[in-house]
A and B are shown apart, each in its own frame.
Chain A
Amino acid sequence: MRSSVSYILSTTTSEPNMSHPDYEQFSHDHAALLILVKQIGSCLKTKTFNKFYERISKVNTVKITDSTGQVRNILIRYIKEHPVENNDWGDFQTHRRLLGLISLGRYDSQQELNEICRVHESLKVKYTSTLFDSRCILFGVNDEREYPSDNSSPEEESSSSSKLSVDEPVSEPKESDSKPRDKFTTPTNFKARAIFYNEADPCTDLENQLNEFINSLFWVLESKRLERSREKIERVSLLLAPFEKKDFVGLDMDSRNNKKRCNGRMTKHLGDLYLQAGLLSESLGYYHSAVETLKSVNDWLWLGAAYEGLCAASALVWYPNIQRNVSLHRNASLPEGSPKRSNSISTPMENTKRDIINMLPPDEISKRYREAIIHYSKYQNAGIIETEASFKAARISVEQNHSLQAASFLQNVVFINLTLSEQEKIQRFETLSDLYMEIGFIRKAAFCQRLAATRHVSPQNPTPNWNKCYSLILQSFPGHKISLDPTEMSTIHSPCGWPSLQIQLLQELVVASKRMGHSALATRHMTFLLQTMWQHLSSSEQKEFAIQLQSLSSQCEGAPVPLVLDTGIVIPPANLSNVPICSGFNLRSLQPHLQPRKIETFKRDLGPFLFTPIKFGTLERSSSKPQSKMDFLWVENDVCEVTLKLVNPLPFELKVSNMRLLTSGVVFESIPETVVLPSDTPTSLTLNGTPKESGELEIQGYSTHTLGVKSNCRLRCMPNFLPCYSIEVIPVLPTMEIKTSLPQSATFSSFQNFENVVTSASISLYNGESTECTITLTNNSHVPIEMLEVSIQSVLELSLQDQIFKWSQENLESQLPLMPNGTASLTLYLYSAANFLAAGYGPNELSSGVFGSSHGSSLMSMSAGPSSLPSRLNSPIYSAMGSSFHGTRRNELNSSFRSSNSGQSSMTTTGYRSPGALILPQHAASTVVEGQLQLRYSGGAGLRAGYCRSSSIFITLEMLPSLQVTNWDVLPAETSSQFYLVLDIANMTSQEMELYYTPTKHMLIEGHESCRVPVPVNRCPLSKLTKLYMDQNSGMNNRLDLDKICSDHIANLVDLRWQLLSLNTRGKATLKGITLTPNMLDIVRMSPLNWEVSVNGDFLKPQEEINCDAGDCLSVRISICNSLEKPLQHLILSIQFYQDHRNGTHNYRLETRVVIIGCAKKILPVLEPQSKAWHACNVLFLTPGQYKMDIQCSTSDALSTNQPILGPCGHSWRYIPAVDVNVHI
């Protein structure tokens, strides 16, 4: 657009140049009357002035009826500053002339009044060449009444015409005329019209005053217009632009060309005047003809002006409503000088539009403007005119909605080379940016704003203004897509802005705010830069900015609060969540022993399947997502933990202090942490805190203090985290410290869940030994413990467990409640319970006495040995097999096995002491029993909420073998009320053991040796067994019950105590669980039959021997009495003799040696309770020798096949012991 001839045509700039561009001009201002509104004197407050200026500005269009009755629409433009040089261009474009002056001043004293008047007069002098009229508005002190100045003095040349033609009455002077003038008077040389107001007055007639003033201006103008239009067009002098004066020196002024030039210029001037006077169509005509004339003489400058006039007049017709957009000036930073008036040129002109000849159509306007600008550009000195024209053209393009056209006009502005003050340059950029903004070129606007900002602080600028620079940079942010809120910057869909530019801008902003002296802002912006631009910064930049931030924050710490600037802009807080980077955030459950548990646990119904390894992951994908609600609980007043994983991305060590948790919900006291993070190494950190209330707690993030900046890093602002975590806090629970009197165990085995184990205890005990363990419980919280439950958990069988661990719940409960700092003690009794009977065989095993115990069963007569020796250890396998077939149902195969084995047994069991090595059972090693003593306790509010805590003591009990009963058997005693329990007892220890097996008898056993002891035991009374006899139909169970009753009977009566002499430990062994064979049972329990045997009429005493000679006839009488409470049926009482060879064989074949006279058997169909039956026979021994008489009574199974096999009915009872008969010669 610019022509390159500009340098050729224009002279050097010694000429007076219009050095003060008015960027705010609209093309409409060509038609306006220029009025300067000036604040004078120091008393008037700027605020008041601005208020009045606003008010005055509203009177920007006045309708005046001229002398021909035509209504003229007069526009007025008010300005606050007007450099007097601009008046010089008044010939070129008349709207540049200052026509009116309004000054506002306030006075308190005569002196001040004088001063105001003086300044007003001097202003009048200053603009005297163009000024038509002036007003001085004076504000008096409060008690002052308004009064007019008596000497109204319109300007010199206009006084006659304007005064006379004022058609509106002047309203002000009337009422105040009469009033006596107070102490203040205007000085006599004050020749302006003064308007007096009280400062507090509403000043209702101000608008009227203004109207009157504008009228006076108009009439002066009108007279000038008429005067000019009447001039002979040939005679006019050449009108000159200020810089042209030299150009025409020495030119022939009378040349035809020059005449034309004069003529054209004058025509254009007339156009200006007509336009100002409100005569649009006439002015268009003049402009049009001026264009024709000037074009022909190549007067480019004035041709441009004529074009511009043409455009302005046309635009006024087309777009009467172009207004100064007030919203443009939202920036408080704009200089004061920008007038904030709004044009309200609202006369509808649609009907006249088409009528006016010479008017340019809208498209032509910008074309002509372009031409005008090109013509202007040919003159270097017309730079300002060109600039202003560009702005005006751009504004019209904006109105026409031609953004690109507007942009090209604006772009042209930048090229115009002007020698401007920095302030004006800045203003130029600001105006540009405003206009760019208006056409939606926000990036371009931002670019201009940034340029303006840099101009404010450029080295050429004598008065750098960092505040304005700062606010301009801030304004350019939207154009660069920077939002001051870091959350908005980080929650971007995609990075839209240009990072490198954003970084530079932010850096500039930091510098500006620093230079402004607002170090808090500098810190804030630096933090923002680091936070939002982190990913776009190189690592060296990151480091550099971090160090910068550190130094900035040393002046003013950054805090996460919004900063409010003086201009009202709020800078939201910026939080550093990138330094350090948090890569993990986990809430921790309390330590297991402190975790709250529900006191009552209701079993949920999980259906028939207790556990399924199949996870329906594919179906319930959502469930695998991390949950923000924690599934564990925290406890009020307990220290709770959150672990963070932090990474310091900076290449130097970073100190992060005052790290806390950010929470909402219940009151939470966070304990600040300080950590020094080495460079680039993930570091774990635990943040602690204590909830002070119960309820829902939300953890939203954490706060840091690093690089001098306090930040609240909220999880919702950080990627890869849930927005917050919530956790339930339950009411306060007590805590308890637990100590035991026993030493701690060295290791735990992997036994159940020992996570809540707080302490442990270990002890070694010999089997049968017992000890006490004192557990001390101390309440170390502030809440009394009101509930305490003790239970033991182990893998042991319940009954055994109860044997080993014992305590007194009552004793414990008596110590409750346990007050804070109180102590309770719990005694745990430990007993090393073990199976003293040689272990390793099931309880159902009938383990002993199978072979040797019988006193000559009829079926085993051939193999019967010396009897009654424990034989179990010799043939454990076969005994197991044989035992199950024991009784009357033995088969032949088994008996053959037995016979061979029993022979062996008799060989080995000769002595009472056998070497230990052979005997020691394989389970001799010590066993370790582990148990957890679980203490569930609660108190206070937590108890009422249904929660408790659970702590455990891990108890390791090593059970050392002490003694073991390797074998046992029963022998009939001398009296029928007792029997002997013969026990093989092995000392499993290496110490010498003293064994007390009866209250009076004891015995020493060497280490690892065994011995055999007989223990007299009372037989099991029938009273214990009656139930069994009564109930015949329960079969197998009865048999087992019988077994059990008898074994209990023995266990209760036999009291084995041992003492290890060297260790001084003593213990007790029990025979609990001893198993008995049916034959043994017969001995153990009392016989249901009472026997009375008499030989030759003498009652036989137990153990008594009968001596007789061969050939003697012995009369034996046997009577039995049923001591049961039920009748016995089908009894067979029999008598039999045999010889015991004492080598395991009994000889029953005594046909040649003994003769029984009478019946050897007697069948008793029924024996009623307590009734007696008897049988008698005679016996004759044929040969001398030792005989034994075996008397037995059996139920006949032949007769009662339907009877249970093992019941008392299919059984036989013997008279024990068998009676010895010695037959002598």
Chain B
Amino acid sequence: MAVCAAIIGKDNSPKYFTCLNPDEELGFQYKVLSSLDVIEEKLNSGNKSVSDTRELYLGMLYSLEKHKIYGYVSNTKIKFIIVIDSTNTSLRDNEIRSMFRKLHSIYADNVCNPFYIPDEPITSKSFDKSVKHIISGI
């Protein structure tokens, strides 16, 4: 079960942010923002070695005392970030990977919505609902 999920646009501006405990949102935003550095670094170095068959899932970006931050980048440089509690050992890499895939697919669905302007922050309620659904792991 993740505690926080974020979708970040290709210019690194936030598109969507949610966390289970709204009071901690600001703190999570700081953490997610600083994890972008790692993503960028990984993207830069990743492109050098592997050409285009890039793995979207970046794995753990870094771990903090209480949380672990995982990243996933779409081919259009949309970044997905999930923060999980480090005490939670039940989540394995595969589960996180599938969580990202679900997130990616609902994001793609949302972009298909003609009323959504790409690159705008996502405010759709149903999107929010389904993301919450995914991160709470039901």
Contact = CB atoms under 8 A, between A and B. Distances in A.
B13 A496 contact: yes
A440 B45 CA distance: 13
Interface stretch (A68-76, A403-411, A1209-1217): A403-411
Interface in B4-63: 9, 11-14, 25-26, 29-30, 33-34, 36-38, 40-42, 45, 62-63
A496 B42 CA distance: 20
Given A404-B45, A415-B65, A495-B13, A500 B29 contact: yes
A177 B48 CA distance: 68
A78 interface: no
A483 to B, nearest CB: 15
Contacts of A439: 41
A404 B38 contact: yes
B30 A442 contact: no
Nearest to B30: A447
A628 interface: no
B62 A447 contact: no
B13 A407 contact: no
27 contacts: A403-B45, A404-B45, A407-B37, A407-B41, A411-B62, A411-B63, A439-B41, A440-B37, A440-B40, A441-B34, A441-B37, A442-B37, A443-B33, A444-B34, A444-B37, A447-B30, A447-B33, A447-B34, A450-B30, A480-B33, A494-B13, A496-B11, A498-B13, A498-B29, A498-B33, A501-B29, A501-B30
A95 B62 CA distance: 33
Of A415, A494, A498, A501, chain B has the most CB atoms within 10 Å of the CB of A498
A627 interface: no
The 7 tightest CB contacts between A and B, nearest first, are A441-B37, A444-B34, A447-B34, A443-B34, A496-B13, A444-B37, A403-B41
Contacts of A404: 38, 41-42, 45
Contacts of A274: none
B119 interface: yes
Interface in A483-514: 494-501, 504
A446 B33 CA distance: 10
Contacts of B64: 414
Contact of B26 (A414, A446, A500): A500
B37 A443 contact: yes
A6 to B, nearest CB: 15
Interface in A820-863: none
A267 to B, nearest CB: 36
A504 B41 contact: no
Interface of A: 403-404, 407-408, 411, 414-415, 436, 439-444, 446-447, 450, 480, 494-501, 504
Given A414-B64, A446-B34, 7 more contacts: A404-B42, A408-B62, A436-B37, A441-B41, A450-B30, A498-B14, A504-B26
B62 A501 contact: no
A496 B12 CA distance: 6
Looking at chain B's contact residues, the main secondary structure is helix
A494 B11 contact: yes
Contacts, number: 60
Given A494-B13, A495-B13, A500 B33 contact: no
A439 B45 CA distance: 13
Nearest to B44: A403
Contacts of A495: 13
B36 A443 contact: yes
A504 B28 CA distance: 13
A576 B127 CA distance: 36
Contacts of A500: 25-26, 29
Contacts of A497: 13
Of B38, B42, B63, chain A has the most CB atoms within 10 Å of the CB of B38
B15 to A, nearest CB: 11
Contacts of A415: 65
A440 B41 CA distance: 9
A442 B37 CA distance: 7
A965 B65 CA distance: 116
Contacts of B26: 500-501, 504
Contacts of A411: 62-63
A249 B74 CA distance: 60
Contacts of A443: 33-34, 36-37
A494 B29 contact: no
Contacts of B63: 411
B116 to A, nearest CB: 15
Contacts of B38: 404, 407, 441
A443 B31 CA distance: 10
Nearest to A450: B30
B138 to A, nearest CB: 28
Contacts of A403: 41, 45
Contacts of A480: 33
Contacts of A496: 11-13
B37 A494 contact: no
A118 to B, nearest CB: 49
A444 B13 CA distance: 16
Nearest to A403: B41
B36 to A, nearest CB: 6
A497 B14 CA distance: 8
B41 to A, nearest CB: 5
A525 to B, nearest CB: 19
Contacts of A436: 37
